[in-house]
Amino acid sequence: GQLGLALNAHDVSYPFFDSHLERRVQFVSSTQALPPDLDWLVLSPQRLPPRGLWRQVLRTPGGWRLYAR
């Protein structure tokens, strides 16, 4: 599935790409309408939760969140 990243300017993004750089990743804003083809969404700690039919599936102790649609 498609992965969206709602990160801050200084957050590291390279871990979200696979080792062969074949995974498609979209950088998105958590406060605007998200593309309909996203299945997964990663939010950095300061980002607002998404609206709509998203469910949180993981939260790290540092506040990072993973959502699924």
pTM, to two decimals: 0.87
Please check the confidence at residue 66 and state whether its pLDDT lies above 80.
yes
Average pLDDT over all residues of the chain: 91
What percent of the chain is predicted at pLDDT more than 90? Answer: 62
CA distance 56 to 36: 17
Q: How far are the Cα atoms of 10, 19, 61, 62 from residue 38, in angstroms, in the given order?
A: 23, 21, 25, 24
What is the structure's pLDDT at 20? 80
For residue 58, name the pLDDT band (cuts at 50, 70, 90): very high
- Closest by CA position to 38, among listed 66, 12, 13, 18: 66
Positive or negative torsion for Cα 48, 54, 56, 58: negative
